[in-house]
Structure 1
Amino acid sequence: MSELVINVKGLRKTFKKIKKLEGFLSSVRSLWNREVELIDGINGIDLQVKKGEIRGLIGPNGAGKSTTIKIMSGILHPSEGTVNVLGFTPWKDRERFVRNLGVLFGQKSQLWWDLPPIDTFSLNKEMYKIPDDEYKRRLDSFLDMLQIRDVIHQPVRTLSLGERMKCELVCALLHHPPLIFLDEPTIGLDIVSKETVRQFIKQMNRELGTTFIITTHDLADLENLCDQVTIINKGTIVFDESMDKLSTFFSNSKIIDVKFAQPIDPSLFSAYTVVSSAPLSVQIEVDLTAKDIKVWIYEILEQFPVVDINITNIPIEDVIRHIYES
């Protein structure tokens, strides 16, 4: 069995929220007698991540993703549960723990706004006590892979979003941590920059065995990077399987895409679950527990002037949306 990098059991985090009362007198009264409401940010999470995984951690806004990552990185203390990350309890031995951790949070930059990135890289070299020859070798490699050698001597405020994000990645990986948390690493990037960042992550995972935990709303990140995906909703884990399992989550449903030789009256599709339609085409979702796929196809061919027909799985974004909503 592969070594566990993260082992979380029974994790809970409860936040206190002061109830806001309406009216002036109620507001004055609350200065002395406040009503406190307890809110569960996360509620009984169990999570195991093996060494060398690229794990997607996703969920709707407010689901508990950020709270979970902040606890695993030692920023927050849990209300209940045990957390073992790289052999550490993150909030108890924080100084030694963070030397083995890399983080990239979209809302928190490691770069100094008015200084060039190379200055931040040099500062990280000293903080993490990286030997001179190792620092030069790693930096040269990263600059070439991310194609940012020409920008690291410019002030950060003059860089594009893509250039800044690539420099943030260098900061996160320069000390070769075995575990890295990436929060929305490709958000706002153009297609070329996204692909460069994804290839960089995959290469670091392949060559160094680095474990990545990635939070993202970009399904292409999941499909291109992640071996496993964990979905958190309302503070609990609702899905924790491989990407292949996620793709076949609705294995009893298929989408039949039909093209016609002539326009068809939409009312003729009333007996079907229509996903989308146009005068010369329609997408129908079919239930394979009700009828075999062959029966569905024969039925459609007999009723309509079909010129082309295609069968696909339920789109992964629809699967995830269904999991969120349920």
Structure 2
Amino acid sequence: MALITVRQLTKEYVRTKAVQGRFGTLRTLFTREKERTLAVDHIDFSIDEGEVVGYLGPNGAGKSTTIKLLTGVLWPTSGTVEVAGPGGPVVPWRDRQNLARRIGVVFGQRSQLWWDLPLIESFTLVAALYDVPAPRYTSNLARLRKLLELDPFLHTPVRQLSLGQRMRGDLAAALLYDPPLLYLDEPTVGLDVLAKETVRGFVDESNRSGRTTVLLTTHDLADVERLCRRILLIDHGRVLYDGAVDGLVARFAPYQEVLVRLDGDQPDGDRLDLGGFVGEREHDGRWRFRVGRDEPVHRLLAAAGDGWQIRELSVVESNLESVVKELYRERRDG
């Protein structure tokens, strides 16, 4: 069942700026000109209950604007969003009170915790705001304390917490009232390796055991590879790809790269043709060839053996990060 349904969602920002102009020969006047930016451009997607979906894109692609529309912070220029739940679907910007009980939100750069209060008191206030019954609060808090290892700093004021500790506190607060849908915006930004793995492990466990649906925006593709089975790739406000992580790699990088270092005198120029395999010279003197994923590498070795001696060879499999970088590079160059 679709928990989020997005149809033709569009957000246009209009900025008014002063433009200098001439009036006759004696006076200089300033006129005002409107500059329009289409941040989200007629996007469609739906997210089913229980999914963990990565929402990816470069800076300025429209990710943050989309999240603000989904959480009701912004009104769209056109289109609609519906979030399913008890009593029927709600439109985020029209019914933020009902929406708030259906979603948890964690922003990596901003906290929903009370800065000067001990962490446990922030949890108490969240429970009161969302009318969490006492037995449910006690049960949920016990589970979150264990999963996120909160006890060592549970009574510490939030302002004294490290970034990793605060993030764990924010995650606990976001799930304390059992929302079926969790929005995570850069949840591992600035965290060390151990803190990142704690956050990822918690999100994965919450999805598997609690069936929490997660929409994750991040620049750390390790988050996506660890947590997501589906990704939405966005650029210039439009969805470029919607599907499985493996499908993106297969679609945009149907090859493996082979790095070869030759013995002896090197060929002239920056390109080398070995029996139909064309390699490009790297800055370190090696040659980079692209070989189809289903094509045996030994064919390249055999072709090289006709005239060159290979001293070193390594195969570089395309991963999600390399594919996304290549895709955006091609769009910029094109």
Shift of 1:237: 0.3
Using a 3 Å threshold, how does the CA distance of structure 1 residues 252 and 198 change in structure 2: closer, same or farther? closer
Using a 3 Å threshold, how does the CA distance of structure 1 residues 175 and 302 change in structure 2: closer, same or farther? farther
Partner Cα distance (1:264, 1:56) in 2: 48
Paired amino acid for 2:304? I
Match for residue 120 of structure 2? 118
Cα displacement string for residues 75-99 of structure 1 (whole angstroms, at most 9, x for unaligned residues): 1111111211122111112111111
2:198 aligned counterpart, secondary structure: helix
Cα displacement string for residues 249-284 of structure 1 (whole angstroms, at most 9, x for unaligned residues): 334322113366x576474763244474646xx361
Conserved? CA contact 2:13–2:36, under 8 Å: yes
Conserved? CA contact 1:253–1:285, under 8 Å: no
Paired amino acid for 2:79? G
Using a 3 Å threshold, how does the CA distance of structure 1 residues 148 and 304 change in structure 2: closer, same or farther? farther
Shift of 1:20: 4.1
Match for residue 235 of structure 1? 237
Conserved? CA contact 2:55–2:232, under 8 Å: yes
Counterpart among 303, 317, 323 of residue 319 in structure 1: 323
1:248 aligned counterpart, secondary structure: helix
- The structure whose residues are more often strand, as a share, is 2
Match for residue 74 of structure 1? 72
Matches within 5 A, 1:184-263: 184-258=186-260
Using a 3 Å threshold, how does the CA distance of structure 1 residues 97 and 305 change in structure 2: closer, same or farther? same
Using a 3 Å threshold, how does the CA distance of structure 1 residues 239 and 283 change in structure 2: closer, same or farther? farther
TM-score by length of 1: 0.88
Partner Cα distance (1:221, 1:195) in 2: 9
Structure 2: runs of 5 or more not aligned: 273-277
Further displaced range: 262-271 or 98-107 = 262-271
Conserved? CA contact 1:253–1:286, under 8 Å: yes
Paired amino acid for 1:316? L
Question: Is 1:58–2:60 an aligned residue pair?
Answer: no
Partner Cα distance (1:213, 1:264) in 2: 54
Structure 1: runs of 5 or more not aligned: none
Conserved? CA contact 1:63–1:233, under 8 Å: yes
Q: Sequence identity of aligned pairs in percent?
A: 37
Partner Cα distance (2:45, 2:155) in 1: 41
Question: Is 1:270–2:268 an aligned residue pair?
Answer: no
Paired amino acid for 2:178? H
Shift of 1:296: 2.5
Paired amino acid for 1:270? R
Cα displacement string for residues 1-58 of structure 1 (whole angstroms, at most 9, x for unaligned residues): xx001111111111111124369x9xx955xx53222221111100111110100001
Shift of 1:117: 1.2
Conserved? CA contact 1:71–1:78, under 8 Å: yes
Match for residue 166 of structure 1? 168
Paired amino acid for 1:190? D
Counterpart among 299, 303, 317 of residue 295 in structure 1: 299
Q: How large is the RMSD of aligned CA atoms in angstroms?
A: 2.5
Shift of 1:166: 0.6
1:21 aligned counterpart, secondary structure: strand
Paired amino acid for 1:131? P
Matches within 5 A, 1:16-27: 16-21=14-19
Conserved? CA contact 1:13–1:42, under 8 Å: yes
Using a 3 Å threshold, how does the CA distance of structure 1 residues 283 and 69 change in structure 2: closer, same or farther? farther
Conserved? CA contact 1:248–1:313, under 8 Å: no
Partner Cα distance (1:276, 1:9) in 2: 46
Aligned residue pairs, count: 315
Match for residue 156 of structure 2? 154
Cα displacement string for residues 166-186 of structure 1 (whole angstroms, at most 9, x for unaligned residues): 101011111110001000011
Partner Cα distance (1:270, 1:41) in 2: 41
Partner Cα distance (1:270, 1:303) in 2: 15
Match for residue 46 of structure 2? 48
